[in-house]
């Protein structure tokens, strides 16, 4: 049920891989995107595309 997110999935030549099993991992992925690639990925958008379950209250 849980998955992995990689930068390659988002079109980057980057080996960064993170296991998505919590909101924390999404935040870490977003932080990596911002810090390493200079792209501001809204957490909500990551969540809705990768892990909709977490969006539920
Ligand atoms: Zn990356």
Q: How far apart are the first and last CA of the chain?
A: 19
Establish if 26 belongs to a structural domain: yes
Establish if 33 belongs to a structural domain: yes
The secondary structure of residue 22, as a DSSP letter, is S
- Whole-prediction pTM value? 0.69
Establish if 55 belongs to a structural domain: no
CA 38 to ligand 1 center in whole angstroms: 10
How much is the pLDDT for 24? Answer: 85
For the chain, how many structural domains are there in total?
1
CA 56 to ligand 1 center in whole angstroms: 27
How much is the pLDDT for 35? Answer: 93
User: Which H/E stretch holds residue 31?
Assistant: helix 23-37
Backbone angles phi, psi at 20, to 5 degrees: -95, 105
Q: Which range of residues forms the domain containing residue 18?
A: 3-50
Low-confidence stretches of the chain (pLDDT < 50) are: 1, 53-55
CA 25 to ligand 1 center in whole angstroms: 14
CA 40 to ligand 1 center in whole angstroms: 12
Establish if 57 belongs to a structural domain: no
Residue among 49, 42, 43, 5 at smallest CA distance from 23: 43
């Amino acid at each position: 049920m849980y998955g992995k997110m990689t930068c390659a999935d988002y079109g980057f030549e980057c080996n960064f891989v993170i296991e998505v099993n919590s909101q924390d991992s999404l935040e870490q992925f977003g932080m990596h995107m911002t810090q390493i690639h200079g792209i501001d990925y809204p957490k909500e958008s990551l969540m809705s595309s990768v892990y909709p379950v977490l969006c539920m209250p």
